[in-house]
Amino acid sequence: MNRHIKIFDTTLRDGEQAPGCSMNLYEKQEVARQLEALKVDVMEAGFAVSSPGDFESVKTIANLVKESSVASLSRALEKDIDASAEALVGAVHPRIHLFIATSDVHMQYKLRMTPEQVLERTAAMVSYARNRCADVEFSAEDATRSDREFLAKVVTAAIKAGAGTVNIPDTVGYTTPAEMYDLIQYLRNNVENIDQAIIAVHCHDDLGMATANSLAGVKAGAGQIECTVNGIGERAGNAALEEVVMALQTRPDLYGGTTMIETRQLYRASRLIYNIIGQTVPLNKSIVGKNAFVHESGIHQHGVMAERTTYEIIKPESVGFLANNMVLGKHSGRHAFDARLSELGYALTKDELDTAFAKFKQIADRKKDVTDSDLEAIVTNREYVENLYKLVTFDVHTAKDTNAVCVIRLRRNGDELEDVSLGDGPVDAAYNAIDKIIGITDSKLEYYTINSTSDGQDALGEVIVKVRSGNELLTGRGLSTDIIESSILAYLNALNKLVSFS
Protein backbone atom coordinates (compact mmCIF):
# COMPACT_ATOMS: atom_id res chain seq x y z
CA MET A 1 0.00 0.00 0.00
CA ASN A 2 1.36 3.43 -0.99
CA ARG A 3 2.19 5.82 1.83
CA HIS A 4 1.04 9.42 1.83
CA ILE A 5 4.15 11.56 1.38
CA LYS A 6 3.51 15.07 2.65
CA ILE A 7 4.73 18.03 0.62
CA PHE A 8 6.03 20.90 2.75
CA ASP A 9 6.52 23.92 0.49
CA THR A 10 8.92 26.63 1.63
CA THR A 11 8.85 28.86 -1.47
CA LEU A 12 7.60 31.77 0.64
CA ARG A 13 10.40 31.40 3.19
CA ASP A 14 13.51 29.60 1.94
CA GLY A 15 12.72 30.33 -1.69
CA GLU A 16 12.40 34.05 -1.05
CA GLN A 17 15.84 34.12 0.58
CA ALA A 18 17.53 33.64 -2.79
CA PRO A 19 19.10 36.89 -4.11
CA GLY A 20 16.63 38.79 -6.27
CA CYS A 21 13.70 36.56 -5.32
CA SER A 22 12.00 38.72 -2.70
CA MET A 23 8.23 39.18 -2.95
CA ASN A 24 5.87 41.84 -1.67
CA LEU A 25 2.79 41.00 0.37
CA TYR A 26 0.44 40.99 -2.62
CA GLU A 27 2.69 38.59 -4.49
CA LYS A 28 3.01 36.32 -1.45
CA GLN A 29 -0.77 36.10 -1.20
CA GLU A 30 -0.96 35.14 -4.88
CA VAL A 31 1.65 32.43 -4.31
CA ALA A 32 -0.19 31.17 -1.20
CA ARG A 33 -3.43 30.84 -3.18
CA GLN A 34 -1.59 28.92 -5.88
CA LEU A 35 0.07 26.62 -3.34
CA GLU A 36 -3.33 25.85 -1.87
CA ALA A 37 -4.63 25.11 -5.37
CA LEU A 38 -1.69 22.70 -5.68
CA LYS A 39 -2.92 21.12 -2.42
CA VAL A 40 0.41 21.24 -0.62
CA ASP A 41 0.13 19.75 2.86
CA VAL A 42 2.12 22.54 4.52
CA MET A 43 3.30 25.96 3.33
CA GLU A 44 5.97 27.79 5.27
CA ALA A 45 4.83 31.41 5.16
CA GLY A 46 7.93 33.03 6.63
CA PHE A 47 10.15 33.66 9.65
CA ALA A 48 7.82 35.73 11.83
CA VAL A 49 10.40 37.12 14.26
CA SER A 50 12.87 38.22 11.57
CA SER A 51 11.12 41.48 10.62
CA PRO A 52 7.77 43.29 10.89
CA GLY A 53 7.25 42.56 7.19
CA ASP A 54 7.75 38.82 7.67
CA PHE A 55 5.45 38.83 10.70
CA GLU A 56 2.73 40.55 8.67
CA SER A 57 3.22 38.09 5.79
CA VAL A 58 2.83 35.06 8.08
CA LYS A 59 -0.21 36.62 9.75
CA THR A 60 -1.88 37.52 6.43
CA ILE A 61 -1.29 34.10 4.88
CA ALA A 62 -2.39 32.34 8.09
CA ASN A 63 -5.74 34.12 7.78
CA LEU A 64 -5.97 33.53 4.02
CA VAL A 65 -5.28 29.80 3.76
CA LYS A 66 -8.01 27.36 4.80
CA GLU A 67 -6.94 23.88 3.64
CA SER A 68 -3.14 23.65 3.92
CA SER A 69 -1.22 23.94 7.17
CA VAL A 70 0.63 27.24 7.55
CA ALA A 71 4.05 27.18 9.24
CA SER A 72 6.31 29.84 10.67
CA LEU A 73 10.02 29.24 11.19
CA SER A 74 11.55 29.83 14.64
CA ARG A 75 14.95 29.49 16.21
CA ALA A 76 15.10 27.60 19.49
CA LEU A 77 14.31 30.79 21.39
CA GLU A 78 11.20 31.75 23.33
CA LYS A 79 10.88 35.12 21.55
CA ASP A 80 10.90 33.41 18.15
CA ILE A 81 8.30 30.87 19.22
CA ASP A 82 6.10 33.59 20.72
CA ALA A 83 6.27 35.62 17.49
CA SER A 84 5.35 32.57 15.40
CA ALA A 85 2.47 31.64 17.69
CA GLU A 86 1.10 35.18 17.58
CA ALA A 87 1.39 35.43 13.79
CA LEU A 88 -0.35 32.07 13.35
CA VAL A 89 -3.36 32.86 15.57
CA GLY A 90 -5.73 33.04 12.60
CA ALA A 91 -4.55 29.83 10.91
CA VAL A 92 -6.93 26.90 10.58
CA HIS A 93 -3.99 24.50 10.73
CA PRO A 94 -0.99 26.30 12.34
CA ARG A 95 2.48 24.77 12.66
CA ILE A 96 5.54 26.09 14.47
CA HIS A 97 8.76 24.99 12.76
CA LEU A 98 11.60 25.06 15.28
CA PHE A 99 15.27 24.55 14.43
CA ILE A 100 18.70 24.36 16.04
CA ALA A 101 22.03 23.24 14.57
CA THR A 102 23.47 19.85 15.53
CA SER A 103 26.75 19.60 13.57
CA ASP A 104 30.06 20.15 15.38
CA VAL A 105 31.05 23.06 13.16
CA HIS A 106 27.74 24.88 13.72
CA MET A 107 27.63 24.24 17.46
CA GLN A 108 31.20 25.40 17.95
CA TYR A 109 31.41 28.43 15.67
CA LYS A 110 27.83 29.65 15.22
CA LEU A 111 25.96 28.69 18.36
CA ARG A 112 28.98 28.54 20.69
CA MET A 113 27.16 25.82 22.59
CA THR A 114 28.18 22.37 23.77
CA PRO A 115 26.31 19.29 22.56
CA GLU A 116 24.78 18.92 26.02
CA GLN A 117 23.47 22.49 25.87
CA VAL A 118 21.97 21.89 22.40
CA LEU A 119 20.27 18.74 23.67
CA GLU A 120 18.82 20.59 26.66
CA ARG A 121 17.72 23.57 24.53
CA THR A 122 16.01 21.23 22.05
CA ALA A 123 13.90 19.54 24.73
CA ALA A 124 13.02 22.80 26.47
CA MET A 125 12.09 24.78 23.35
CA VAL A 126 10.12 22.01 21.65
CA SER A 127 8.14 21.64 24.88
CA TYR A 128 7.63 25.43 25.02
CA ALA A 129 6.45 25.47 21.36
CA ARG A 130 4.16 22.50 21.98
CA ASN A 131 2.40 24.52 24.68
CA ARG A 132 1.79 27.31 22.14
CA CYS A 133 0.79 25.15 19.16
CA ALA A 134 -0.51 21.61 18.72
CA ASP A 135 1.58 20.98 15.60
CA VAL A 136 5.34 21.36 16.12
CA GLU A 137 8.08 20.44 13.66
CA PHE A 138 11.71 20.19 14.77
CA SER A 139 14.66 20.57 12.40
CA ALA A 140 18.23 19.56 13.20
CA GLU A 141 20.10 22.09 11.08
CA ASP A 142 23.09 20.63 9.17
CA ALA A 143 21.93 17.14 10.14
CA THR A 144 23.84 15.41 7.35
CA ARG A 145 27.17 16.65 8.76
CA SER A 146 26.23 15.86 12.37
CA ASP A 147 27.50 13.01 14.51
CA ARG A 148 24.89 10.30 14.02
CA GLU A 149 24.78 9.15 17.62
CA PHE A 150 24.30 12.71 18.86
CA LEU A 151 21.72 13.42 16.15
CA ALA A 152 19.72 10.39 17.28
CA LYS A 153 19.73 11.71 20.87
CA VAL A 154 18.49 15.13 19.73
CA VAL A 155 15.74 13.64 17.59
CA THR A 156 14.67 11.39 20.46
CA ALA A 157 14.49 14.38 22.81
CA ALA A 158 12.51 16.46 20.30
CA ILE A 159 9.90 13.75 19.80
CA LYS A 160 9.64 13.14 23.55
CA ALA A 161 9.05 16.90 24.06
CA GLY A 162 6.18 16.92 21.56
CA ALA A 163 7.49 17.28 17.99
CA GLY A 164 5.16 15.54 15.54
CA THR A 165 7.60 15.96 12.63
CA VAL A 166 11.38 15.72 12.77
CA ASN A 167 13.24 17.20 9.82
CA ILE A 168 16.67 15.97 8.71
CA PRO A 169 18.06 18.78 6.52
CA ASP A 170 20.99 18.62 4.15
CA THR A 171 21.51 22.30 4.86
CA VAL A 172 24.57 22.86 2.65
CA GLY A 173 23.85 20.28 -0.05
CA TYR A 174 26.74 18.10 1.09
CA THR A 175 25.35 14.59 1.18
CA THR A 176 24.66 11.96 -1.51
CA PRO A 177 21.61 9.76 -2.10
CA ALA A 178 23.29 6.67 -0.63
CA GLU A 179 24.31 8.60 2.48
CA MET A 180 20.85 10.12 2.91
CA TYR A 181 19.27 6.67 2.64
CA ASP A 182 21.66 5.29 5.26
CA LEU A 183 21.08 8.24 7.61
CA ILE A 184 17.28 7.91 7.57
CA GLN A 185 17.62 4.15 8.08
CA TYR A 186 20.00 4.75 10.99
CA LEU A 187 17.52 7.08 12.69
CA ARG A 188 14.65 4.67 12.16
CA ASN A 189 16.70 1.95 13.83
CA ASN A 190 18.24 4.01 16.63
CA VAL A 191 15.56 6.49 17.74
CA GLU A 192 13.33 4.52 20.07
CA ASN A 193 10.27 6.77 19.68
CA ILE A 194 10.65 7.43 15.94
CA ASP A 195 7.25 5.81 15.29
CA GLN A 196 5.64 8.78 17.10
CA ALA A 197 6.73 11.31 14.49
CA ILE A 198 6.98 11.81 10.73
CA ILE A 199 10.52 12.01 9.34
CA ALA A 200 11.07 14.87 6.89
CA VAL A 201 13.96 15.72 4.58
CA HIS A 202 15.00 19.19 3.39
CA CYS A 203 17.74 19.07 0.75
CA HIS A 204 19.73 21.84 -0.91
CA ASP A 205 21.13 21.59 -4.42
CA ASP A 206 24.76 22.71 -4.03
CA LEU A 207 26.04 19.50 -5.65
CA GLY A 208 23.00 19.08 -7.89
CA MET A 209 21.49 16.23 -5.86
CA ALA A 210 18.63 17.84 -3.91
CA THR A 211 15.86 15.94 -5.71
CA ALA A 212 17.78 12.65 -5.66
CA ASN A 213 18.60 13.04 -1.96
CA SER A 214 14.97 13.83 -1.11
CA LEU A 215 13.74 10.75 -2.95
CA ALA A 216 16.40 8.60 -1.28
CA GLY A 217 15.06 9.84 2.05
CA VAL A 218 11.53 8.78 1.08
CA LYS A 219 12.74 5.37 -0.03
CA ALA A 220 14.37 4.94 3.38
CA GLY A 221 11.17 5.84 5.21
CA ALA A 222 10.77 9.63 5.28
CA GLY A 223 7.14 10.77 5.10
CA GLN A 224 7.60 14.45 4.19
CA ILE A 225 9.65 16.28 1.58
CA GLU A 226 10.47 19.96 2.01
CA CYS A 227 10.86 21.73 -1.32
CA THR A 228 10.14 24.87 -3.36
CA VAL A 229 8.48 25.59 -6.69
CA ASN A 230 11.18 25.60 -9.39
CA GLY A 231 13.73 24.72 -6.69
CA ILE A 232 14.39 28.39 -5.82
CA GLY A 233 16.17 29.11 -2.55
CA GLU A 234 19.44 29.81 -0.78
CA ARG A 235 22.57 29.52 -2.95
CA ALA A 236 21.93 26.79 -5.57
CA GLY A 237 18.38 26.29 -4.30
CA ASN A 238 16.25 23.47 -2.94
CA ALA A 239 14.67 20.29 -4.17
CA ALA A 240 12.13 21.30 -6.84
CA LEU A 241 8.53 20.55 -5.88
CA GLU A 242 7.52 19.65 -9.43
CA GLU A 243 10.41 17.20 -9.74
CA VAL A 244 9.88 15.27 -6.50
CA VAL A 245 6.11 15.13 -7.00
CA MET A 246 6.29 13.77 -10.53
CA ALA A 247 9.07 11.33 -9.60
CA LEU A 248 6.86 9.89 -6.87
CA GLN A 249 3.86 9.75 -9.19
CA THR A 250 5.80 8.20 -12.07
CA ARG A 251 7.66 5.62 -9.96
CA PRO A 252 5.34 4.44 -7.15
CA ASP A 253 6.83 0.98 -7.63
CA LEU A 254 10.22 2.29 -6.48
CA TYR A 255 9.30 4.79 -3.77
CA GLY A 256 6.06 3.33 -2.44
CA GLY A 257 4.54 6.74 -1.80
CA THR A 258 2.13 9.20 -3.36
CA THR A 259 1.27 12.85 -2.73
CA MET A 260 -1.99 14.77 -2.66
CA ILE A 261 -0.66 17.35 -5.13
CA GLU A 262 -2.95 18.48 -7.94
CA THR A 263 -0.32 17.98 -10.64
CA ARG A 264 -2.29 19.82 -13.33
CA GLN A 265 -1.47 23.01 -11.42
CA LEU A 266 2.31 22.48 -11.60
CA TYR A 267 2.91 24.37 -14.84
CA ARG A 268 0.85 27.33 -13.68
CA ALA A 269 2.62 27.41 -10.30
CA SER A 270 5.99 27.36 -12.03
CA ARG A 271 5.07 30.21 -14.39
CA LEU A 272 3.66 32.27 -11.51
CA ILE A 273 6.86 32.00 -9.47
CA TYR A 274 9.14 32.70 -12.43
CA ASN A 275 7.10 35.78 -13.32
CA ILE A 276 7.02 37.15 -9.79
CA ILE A 277 10.77 36.80 -9.23
CA GLY A 278 11.55 38.09 -12.73
CA GLN A 279 13.09 35.00 -14.29
CA THR A 280 12.29 32.88 -17.32
CA VAL A 281 11.80 29.14 -17.47
CA PRO A 282 14.95 27.39 -18.78
CA LEU A 283 14.08 25.60 -22.01
CA ASN A 284 15.36 22.27 -20.70
CA LYS A 285 13.87 22.58 -17.20
CA SER A 286 12.46 19.19 -16.24
CA ILE A 287 8.66 18.89 -15.95
CA VAL A 288 7.84 22.54 -16.78
CA GLY A 289 10.39 23.65 -19.41
CA LYS A 290 9.30 24.47 -22.95
CA ASN A 291 11.32 21.57 -24.37
CA ALA A 292 10.26 19.03 -21.74
CA PHE A 293 7.74 17.45 -24.13
CA VAL A 294 9.22 18.47 -27.51
CA HIS A 295 10.58 15.75 -29.81
CA GLU A 296 12.81 16.91 -32.66
CA SER A 297 14.61 13.67 -33.52
CA GLY A 298 12.90 11.81 -36.35
CA ILE A 299 13.25 8.51 -34.49
CA HIS A 300 11.62 10.02 -31.39
CA GLN A 301 8.82 11.63 -33.41
CA HIS A 302 8.03 8.35 -35.14
CA GLY A 303 8.04 6.51 -31.82
CA VAL A 304 5.72 8.98 -30.10
CA MET A 305 3.28 8.96 -33.02
CA ALA A 306 3.20 5.16 -32.95
CA GLU A 307 2.95 4.86 -29.15
CA ARG A 308 3.28 7.85 -26.85
CA THR A 309 5.05 5.94 -24.06
CA THR A 310 8.03 5.11 -26.28
CA TYR A 311 9.59 8.46 -25.44
CA GLU A 312 7.19 10.13 -22.98
CA ILE A 313 6.98 8.94 -19.38
CA ILE A 314 4.74 11.86 -18.35
CA LYS A 315 1.68 13.14 -20.18
CA PRO A 316 2.06 16.89 -20.82
CA GLU A 317 -1.53 17.57 -19.77
CA SER A 318 -0.92 15.87 -16.40
CA VAL A 319 1.29 18.79 -15.33
CA GLY A 320 -0.84 21.51 -16.92
CA PHE A 321 0.29 21.69 -20.54
CA LEU A 322 -2.80 21.74 -22.78
CA ALA A 323 -2.60 19.96 -26.11
CA ASN A 324 -4.93 22.29 -28.00
CA ASN A 325 -4.13 25.94 -28.59
CA MET A 326 -7.30 27.97 -29.12
CA VAL A 327 -6.73 31.23 -30.96
CA LEU A 328 -8.75 34.29 -29.95
CA GLY A 329 -8.97 37.60 -31.80
CA LYS A 330 -10.37 41.09 -31.56
CA HIS A 331 -13.89 39.83 -32.21
CA SER A 332 -13.76 37.27 -29.40
CA GLY A 333 -16.10 38.06 -26.54
CA ARG A 334 -15.72 38.08 -22.79
CA HIS A 335 -17.36 34.67 -22.45
CA ALA A 336 -14.87 32.97 -24.79
CA PHE A 337 -12.00 34.76 -23.07
CA ASP A 338 -13.18 33.70 -19.60
CA ALA A 339 -13.84 30.13 -20.74
CA ARG A 340 -10.37 29.74 -22.22
CA LEU A 341 -8.70 31.08 -19.08
CA SER A 342 -10.66 28.55 -17.03
CA GLU A 343 -9.48 25.76 -19.34
CA LEU A 344 -5.91 27.00 -18.80
CA GLY A 345 -6.43 26.70 -15.04
CA TYR A 346 -6.91 30.37 -14.12
CA ALA A 347 -9.70 31.35 -11.72
CA LEU A 348 -9.85 35.15 -11.66
CA THR A 349 -12.00 37.43 -9.55
CA LYS A 350 -14.41 39.74 -11.37
CA ASP A 351 -12.04 42.71 -11.01
CA GLU A 352 -9.06 40.66 -12.19
CA LEU A 353 -11.06 39.38 -15.15
CA ASP A 354 -12.13 42.93 -16.06
CA THR A 355 -8.51 44.09 -16.05
CA ALA A 356 -7.26 41.07 -18.01
CA PHE A 357 -10.05 41.36 -20.61
CA ALA A 358 -9.32 45.05 -21.14
CA LYS A 359 -5.63 44.24 -21.70
CA PHE A 360 -6.63 41.40 -24.05
CA LYS A 361 -8.74 43.78 -26.15
CA GLN A 362 -5.86 46.27 -26.40
CA ILE A 363 -3.51 43.55 -27.59
CA ALA A 364 -6.08 42.00 -29.94
CA ASP A 365 -6.37 45.36 -31.73
CA ARG A 366 -2.64 45.19 -32.53
CA LYS A 367 -2.27 41.44 -33.03
CA LYS A 368 -4.25 39.26 -35.42
CA ASP A 369 -4.24 36.11 -33.30
CA VAL A 370 -3.94 35.89 -29.50
CA THR A 371 -2.63 32.47 -28.49
CA ASP A 372 -2.70 30.57 -25.19
CA SER A 373 0.87 31.74 -24.51
CA ASP A 374 -0.30 35.32 -24.98
CA LEU A 375 -3.24 34.77 -22.61
CA GLU A 376 -0.92 33.34 -19.97
CA ALA A 377 1.35 36.35 -20.34
CA ILE A 378 -1.62 38.73 -20.01
CA VAL A 379 -2.78 37.07 -16.79
CA THR A 380 0.63 36.64 -15.19
CA ASN A 381 1.72 40.20 -15.97
CA ARG A 382 -0.64 41.62 -13.36
CA GLU A 383 0.13 44.65 -11.21
CA TYR A 384 0.65 43.76 -7.56
CA VAL A 385 0.76 47.36 -6.35
CA GLU A 386 -1.41 50.39 -6.86
CA ASN A 387 -0.53 51.74 -10.29
CA LEU A 388 0.89 55.02 -8.96
CA TYR A 389 2.44 56.21 -12.22
CA LYS A 390 0.74 55.25 -15.46
CA LEU A 391 2.14 55.65 -18.95
CA VAL A 392 0.18 58.14 -21.04
CA THR A 393 2.43 58.46 -24.09
CA PHE A 394 6.03 58.38 -25.21
CA ASP A 395 7.95 59.66 -28.21
CA VAL A 396 11.40 58.26 -29.03
CA HIS A 397 13.89 59.43 -31.65
CA THR A 398 17.02 57.41 -32.31
CA ALA A 399 19.58 56.98 -35.07
CA LYS A 400 22.96 55.39 -35.64
CA ASP A 401 25.93 57.12 -33.92
CA THR A 402 23.73 59.65 -32.09
CA ASN A 403 22.18 59.78 -28.66
CA ALA A 404 18.55 58.75 -28.46
CA VAL A 405 16.01 61.22 -27.08
CA CYS A 406 12.73 60.31 -25.40
CA VAL A 407 9.78 62.41 -24.29
CA ILE A 408 7.69 60.64 -21.63
CA ARG A 409 4.31 61.63 -20.24
CA LEU A 410 3.01 59.89 -17.09
CA ARG A 411 -0.17 60.28 -15.09
CA ARG A 412 -0.46 60.16 -11.30
CA ASN A 413 -3.60 60.95 -9.31
CA GLY A 414 -5.11 62.72 -12.31
CA ASP A 415 -2.08 64.92 -12.94
CA GLU A 416 0.00 64.52 -16.08
CA LEU A 417 3.77 64.90 -15.81
CA GLU A 418 6.15 65.18 -18.76
CA ASP A 419 9.92 65.29 -19.20
CA VAL A 420 12.57 64.60 -21.82
CA SER A 421 15.99 62.99 -21.63
CA LEU A 422 18.88 61.74 -23.71
CA GLY A 423 20.26 58.22 -23.45
CA ASP A 424 22.50 55.56 -24.90
CA GLY A 425 19.68 54.09 -26.97
CA PRO A 426 15.88 54.45 -26.80
CA VAL A 427 15.37 52.36 -23.65
CA ASP A 428 18.06 54.19 -21.69
CA ALA A 429 16.62 57.54 -22.78
CA ALA A 430 13.12 56.48 -21.71
CA TYR A 431 14.38 55.28 -18.31
CA ASN A 432 16.30 58.52 -17.74
CA ALA A 433 13.15 60.54 -18.49
CA ILE A 434 11.11 58.42 -16.06
CA ASP A 435 13.74 58.89 -13.35
CA LYS A 436 13.50 62.66 -13.79
CA ILE A 437 9.70 62.66 -13.52
CA ILE A 438 9.54 60.44 -10.45
CA GLY A 439 12.60 61.99 -8.82
CA ILE A 440 14.63 58.79 -8.57
CA THR A 441 18.34 59.52 -8.17
CA ASP A 442 19.91 56.23 -7.06
CA SER A 443 18.23 53.58 -9.21
CA LYS A 444 20.42 51.12 -11.09
CA LEU A 445 19.23 48.71 -13.77
CA GLU A 446 20.80 45.35 -12.90
CA TYR A 447 18.87 43.01 -15.19
CA TYR A 448 17.00 43.38 -18.47
CA THR A 449 15.64 40.63 -20.67
CA ILE A 450 13.17 40.33 -23.55
CA ASN A 451 11.06 37.24 -24.22
CA SER A 452 8.66 36.52 -27.04
CA THR A 453 5.42 34.92 -25.83
CA SER A 454 4.63 33.43 -29.25
CA ASP A 455 5.87 33.27 -32.84
CA GLY A 456 5.48 35.77 -35.67
CA GLN A 457 6.30 39.40 -36.36
CA ASP A 458 3.40 40.59 -34.20
CA ALA A 459 4.44 38.51 -31.19
CA LEU A 460 4.01 39.98 -27.75
CA GLY A 461 7.28 41.10 -26.22
CA GLU A 462 7.59 40.52 -22.47
CA VAL A 463 10.31 42.56 -20.77
CA ILE A 464 11.56 41.71 -17.28
CA VAL A 465 13.80 44.11 -15.38
CA LYS A 466 15.44 44.17 -11.95
CA VAL A 467 16.12 47.63 -10.54
CA ARG A 468 18.21 48.32 -7.45
CA SER A 469 17.59 51.34 -5.28
CA GLY A 470 19.60 51.36 -2.07
CA ASN A 471 19.13 47.94 -0.48
CA GLU A 472 15.98 47.19 -2.48
CA LEU A 473 16.05 44.96 -5.59
CA LEU A 474 12.72 45.29 -7.37
CA THR A 475 11.35 43.25 -10.26
CA GLY A 476 9.23 44.77 -13.01
CA ARG A 477 7.40 43.24 -15.95
CA GLY A 478 5.91 44.79 -19.07
CA LEU A 479 3.95 43.36 -21.99
CA SER A 480 3.25 44.84 -25.42
CA THR A 481 3.69 44.23 -29.13
CA ASP A 482 5.96 47.31 -29.04
CA ILE A 483 9.22 46.38 -27.31
CA ILE A 484 9.97 49.99 -26.29
CA GLU A 485 6.56 50.20 -24.64
CA SER A 486 7.16 46.85 -22.92
CA SER A 487 10.46 48.18 -21.60
CA ILE A 488 8.85 51.35 -20.26
CA LEU A 489 6.00 49.42 -18.61
CA ALA A 490 8.44 47.02 -16.95
CA TYR A 491 10.54 49.86 -15.53
CA LEU A 492 7.45 51.70 -14.31
CA ASN A 493 6.20 48.50 -12.67
CA ALA A 494 9.44 48.22 -10.68
CA LEU A 495 9.55 51.89 -9.69
CA ASN A 496 5.88 51.88 -8.68
CA LYS A 497 6.78 49.18 -6.16
CA LEU A 498 9.58 51.32 -4.87
CA VAL A 499 7.33 54.38 -4.50
CA SER A 500 4.54 52.31 -2.94
CA PHE A 501 6.75 50.69 -0.31
CA SER A 502 8.87 53.73 0.58
Domain ranges of the chain: 3-277, 293-322, 324-380, 390-501
Q: What is the rounded average pLDDT of the residues 284-291? A: 86
Residue 299 has pLDDT above 50, yes or no: no
Q: How far is CA 171 from CA 77, 183, 203, 239, in A?
A: 20, 14, 6, 12
Amino acid in the structure at residue 231: G
Q: What is the rounded average pLDDT of the residues 272-282? A: 85
Q: Domain 390-501 maps to which CATH number in 1.10.10.10, 3.30.70.260, 3.30.160.270, 3.30.1330.60?
A: 3.30.160.270
Predicted local confidence at residue 308, as pLDDT: 63
Model pTM score: 0.87
Residue 420 has pLDDT above 60, yes or no: yes
pLDDT top residue among 91 and 319 = 91
Reported confidence tier of residue 458, pLDDT bands at 50, 70, 90: low
Average pLDDT, the chain: 90
Predicted local confidence at residue 326, as pLDDT: 61
Give the separation between CA 492 and CA 474, rounded to whole angstroms.
11
Which phi and psi (to 5°) does residue 98 adopt? Answer: -105, 140
Q: What is the rounded average pLDDT of the residues 84-96? A: 98
Q: Find out if CATH 3.30.70.20 is the number for domain 3-277.
A: no
CB count in 10 Å sphere of residue 301:
13
Q: What is the rounded average pLDDT of the residues 266-287? A: 88
- Orientation of helix 350-366 relative to helix 372-380, angle to 10°: 130
Handedness of CA 187, 190, 191, 196 (dihedral sign): positive
Predicted local confidence at residue 356, as pLDDT: 86
Predicted local confidence at residue 297, as pLDDT: 44
SS3 212: helix
Number of residues that make up the chain = 502
Reported confidence tier of residue 97, pLDDT bands at 50, 70, 90: very high
Question: What share of the chain in percent tops pLDDT 90?
Answer: 65
Of 9-23, 197-211, 374-388, 487-501, highest mean pLDDT: 197-211
